[in-house]
Chains A and B, each alone.
Chain A
Amino acid sequence: MNEIKQIEDHLFNEVDPQESVLFEARLILNPQFADNVKWQQQTYQLVKQYGRKKLKAELEVVHQQLFTQTEHRSFAQKIRALFSW
């Protein structure tokens, strides 16, 4: 867990220059560590993709409400009219 945190600090937060140098050295000297850093970066990317996917699903729920429920009918009609020709 220490390593995970250390990598995160290095990637996102301010670390003191001395630690930073050690980190860089370790990257060069220890391929397995470098590999872990790479996969950790991938993981953050993946979490972002996951977040976007979930957020879009939430937006789609709202979209469906607006375009299927009777209480929003006039809004839906107004929008649909823009695309009927």
Chain B
Amino acid sequence: MLVKRILSDAGEREKFFLELYKNSFPAIAKYISKRGGSFEEARDVFQDAVVLYYEKLVGDKLNLQVNEQAYLMGIAKHLWIKKYNLDSRNIDINEAGQLIEHVEEPLPVTQKLLNFLETAGQRCMDMLKAFYYDKLNMTEVAEQFGYSGERSATVQKYKCLEKVRDTVKQKALTYEDFLE
């Protein structure tokens, strides 16, 4: 799929986001401003909406027919309403008719853990992100991370997973308030 190709390249992705901003942010900013929201709130809502849209795109969970601007607007409205716990029953928000997930701020403990992993195991985290979050296939992961092929990249992926898992476990035992 073309969009997925674009999104797997950092430079192309930046252009894609720039276009998205230009095409979709004005209407959303207008919506938020009319309801008394601030510029920063409009930015946060828009960025969260893009995050959810991105996850749908890379996960192949979107109907090709979906209108990008309308879709983002739908998510943004939903996020705004949720933010203020307003009654959303009467608002037709979701074009695709699916439930929209909320982008939760990670818990402080999770933040701490993320910060630790970001420095201690950045390469592993980036590789795991490429596969599990950005949904690249193993061939693309191998290419981006300089492995000879799918096979050695797969082995490395599992090693990373194990390493991170052990770190999480170990750290969780020292952070008292780690939960869920």
> Which A residues are within 8 Å of any B CB, using their own CB?
1, 4-5, 8, 35-36, 39-40, 42-56, 58-63, 65-66, 75, 78-80, 82-83
**Which residue of chain B has the shortest Cβ distance to A66 in the bound complex?**
B21
Q: Report if B132 contacts A (CB, 8 A).
A: yes
Describe B's contact surface by its main secondary structure: helix
Contact B54 A55 (CB under 8 A): yes
Which of B74-82, B88-96, B164-172 contacts the other chain? B164-172
Q: Report if B133 contacts A (CB, 8 A).
A: yes
- The contact string, 1 if C-beta is below 8 Å from chain A, for chain B 37-60, is 011001100010011001000000
- The contact string, 1 if C-beta is below 8 Å from chain A, for chain B 102-121, is 01001000100110011000
Tell me whether A62 and B164 are in contact in the complex, defined as CB-CB below 8 angstroms, given that A49-B110, A51-B132, A79-B29 are known contacts.
Answer: no
A14 to B29, CA, bound (A): 43
Describe A's contact surface by its main secondary structure: helix
Q: Report if B128 contacts A (CB, 8 A).
A: yes
What would 4 more interface pairs be, CB under 8 Å, given A40-B161, A47-B132, A52-B103?
A: A1-B162, A45-B180, A53-B106, A56-B47
Contact A59 B159 (CB under 8 A): no
Contact A50 B117 (CB under 8 A): yes
**Which residue of chain A has the shortest Cβ distance to B40 in the bound complex?**
A83
Contact B162 A4 (CB under 8 A): yes
Which chain B residues in 7-58 approach chain A with CB under 8 Å? Answer: 13-14, 17-18, 21-22, 25-26, 29-30, 33, 38-39, 42-43, 47, 50-51, 54
Tell me whether A50 and B125 are in contact in the complex, defined as CB-CB below 8 angstroms, given that A4-B162, A58-B14, A79-B25 are known contacts.
Answer: yes
Contact B133 A50 (CB under 8 A): yes
Contact B106 A49 (CB under 8 A): yes
A65 to B113, CA, bound (A): 30
A52 to B165, CA, bound (A): 19
Contact B168 A62 (CB under 8 A): no
Q: Report if B158 contacts A (CB, 8 A).
A: yes
A63 to B110, CA, bound (A): 26
Contact A50 B129 (CB under 8 A): yes
4 shortest interchain CB distances as A-B pairs: A51-B133, A82-B33, A83-B39, A39-B169
> Looking at the complex, which one of A46, A78, A79, A83 makes contact with B168 (CB distance below 8 Å)?
A46
Contact A58 B132 (CB under 8 A): no
